[in-house]
Amino acid sequence: MRNGEKRRGPLFLMEVRERTEEESNAAKTGDNPRVGFTVTKKNGNAVIRNRIRRRLKEAIRCHAGRDMAPSTDYVIVAREQALNAPFSQLTEELSRRITAKGERRSGRKRRTERPEPGPVNGK
C-alpha cells in the first residue's frame, strides 16, 4: 500500500488506504471495506500463524468491523504478541487502530541529503 497510512500497535501494524471510486468499481466490492491479513514466518509455524490469523479475523468480525470506513482497504500485519494477548485487548487495539489517524506514506522513498563534495584525498 504505497499511499496509505501506517498505524502501529503492540499487537500488529495496520496499513490503511482509501480506494478511489474507480478502484471500488473495478474490485466489484462497492463501498464495503476490504481487509487483508499478513502473518510472517517469524511468528512461528503454520499452525501458530493460522491461529493468529483466525483470532484477528474473529475480532474484526465480532467487534471492530463496525468501525471500518467504507471504500477503505486495511492490511493487518500481525506481531507475535497477538497470539497470547487476551481477546478483549485484541479487539480494543483493532478498534483503536481502525479509528485512529496514522503516519501518511508517500508513494516514493525520501532521499537522504548527501554531503557536499569536498577535496579529494584531503587536498
Q: pLDDT (tens digit, 9 = 90+) per residue, 112-121?
A: 566 666 666 6
Share of the chain above pLDDT 70, in %: 76
Full-model pTM: 0.74
* Residue 58: per-residue pLDDT: 94
What value does the mean pLDDT take over residues 84-99?
92
Q: Is the pLDDT of residue 57 over 90?
A: yes
pLDDT at 82: 95
What is the topology classification, in CATH, of domain 5-100?
Ribosomal Protein S5; domain 2 (3.30.230)
Dihedral of CA 17/18/23/24: which sign? positive
Distance (Å) of CA 37 to CA 103, 110, 117: 20, 27, 46
| Dihedral (Cα; 44, 60, 67, 74), 10-degree rounding | 50
